[in-house]
Structure 1
Amino acid sequence: MSMQPAVEAYTVQDYLQWEGDWELIHGQPVAMVPSPSFDHQQLSAAVFRQLDESLDDCPHCQAVFEIDVEFAQDTVVRPDVLVICYQPESERLTRAPDLIFEVISPKTTRRDEVVKFDLYRTEGVPHYVLVYPEAKKAKVWWLVDGEYRKVGDFHDETHCFELSKCAFDFDFSRLWKRKGGQA
């Protein structure tokens, strides 16, 4: 009879003590890749800039850039860009955002497409967007009855995001204007 090694689980309290950049998913530490490339940051900034401008007239919603979201006592992630339609109750975000954008890089593809996809679905994030810099494409997912349904692939189209407290159009063609949209 072989014994399975015990898997140590960590909590947000442990996470808050760690040095460096980490995410904590279901009690398991996940090292973040080294600082995103310059082009990745430019693309994330383009997403943030457009979201921020789109929400200028909404008194309830705001775009946020690379901030920890604490989903549970054993789960903290840091999406590239997100939109919340509530006022945070503390310094940390502890409720699901209305919209999350993740810019895909080669080292994070599986985590963003599988692990975070399932996490965000389970946590009730209504809109999830995966941005693929190399393909100059974004995949938009919408949560319906607890499952993500693909809205479509977007390159130069505009999509209307209907959030809990507002709606706005997002022009995906604006993402690819700088440096050919490579990340």
Structure 2
Amino acid sequence: MQAIDKNFFTWNDYVTWEGRWELIDGEAYDMSPVPYPKHQRLVLNIARELAGTLDCKECEVYISPVDWKIDEYNVVQPDVALFCEEPKEQYFSKTPPLVVEVLSKSTAKKDINEKFFLYEKNGVKFYMLVEPNSEIVDIFELKNGKYEFQKKLTCNDSYAFELDKCSLSVDFNNVF
């Protein structure tokens, strides 16, 4: 791996690495070990719910691993994201209007802190954090450049997302 210094990496370093990684503000984050089956089941169920209610053709729901290259120092793989572009490379470059992260022991701190502020700074309209063990979901909406907490949800709830180009929703009874 090439690096500007031992803790600062770029896209050019990232593309040479084996395994799954994320790059946030030039810092490399190893994506191993692989997620638990419950984590993956929730990712699939959320993606299924979102895709099943999506009402536009300009956007599409994707699940990880798929790269969102924000810039030379930031490349992330959201668990679930709604992308509204046809990628010209092997990654997405435009900000998705909705990102979902399912928390796990190895990624929770990064998802709640580093990714929260990265997504906020880069204009992700809705950020959904899913806690698989307690089956609690926190929804944040970007308003005036800052995330505002919208709602704490459980398996008995549903939530509708209104975006510029489309709308979609999740019934969490079908997720959990």
The two structures have a TM-score, normalised by structure 1, of 0.88
Tell me the equivalent position of 2:171. Answer: 171
Tell me the equivalent position of 1:29. Answer: 28
Contact kept? 1:68, 1:93, Cα under 8 Å: yes
Percent sequence identity over matched residues?
34
Q: C-alpha offsets along residues 59-90 of structure 1, whole Å, 9 cap, x if unaligned?
A: 11110011111111011011100001232233
- Corresponding letter in the other structure for 1:89: K
2:60 aligns with one of 62, 82, 85: 62
CA distance in 2, matches of 1:107, 1:9: 21
- Corresponding letter in the other structure for 1:164: D
- The structure with the larger Rg is 1
* Deviation at residue 108 of structure 1 after TM alignment: 1.2
Q: C-alpha offsets along residues 25-84 of structure 1, whole Å, 9 cap, x if unaligned?
A: 1111111131111111111110111111112x4111110011111111011011100001
Where do 1:1-183 residues align within 5 Å? 8-55=7-54, 57-66=55-64, 67-155=66-154, 156-176=156-176
- Corresponding letter in the other structure for 1:58: C
Aligned-partner SS, 1:51: helix
CA distance in 2, matches of 1:169, 1:44: 15
Aligned-partner SS, 1:168: strand
* Deviation at residue 173 of structure 1 after TM alignment: 1.8
Q: Give the RMSD, CA atoms, in angstroms.
A: 1.3
* Deviation at residue 150 of structure 1 after TM alignment: 0.5
Which consecutive aligned stretches of 4+ in structure 1 deviate over 2 angstroms post-superposition? 85-91
CA distance in 2, matches of 1:27, 1:169: 34
CA distance in 2, matches of 1:60, 1:70: 20
CA distance in 2, matches of 1:97, 1:168: 14
* Deviation at residue 7 of structure 1 after TM alignment: 5.2
Aligned-partner SS, 1:29: strand
Aligned-partner SS, 1:117: helix
Q: Which deviates the most, 62-71 or 85-94?
A: 85-94
Contact kept? 1:85, 1:164, Cα under 8 Å: no
Tell me the equivalent position of 1:181. Answer: none
- Corresponding letter in the other structure for 1:64: Y
CA distance in 1, matches of 2:85, 2:15: 24
CA distance in 1, matches of 2:9, 2:169: 40
- Corresponding letter in the other structure for 2:175: L
Aligned-partner SS, 1:134: coil
The two structures have a TM-score, normalised by structure 2, of 0.92
Q: C-alpha offsets along residues 95-129 of structure 1, whole Å, 9 cap, x if unaligned?
A: 11110000001121110001100000011110000
* Deviation at residue 20 of structure 1 after TM alignment: 1.3
Aligned length: 170
Runs of 5+ consecutive residues of structure 2 not aligned to the other structure: none
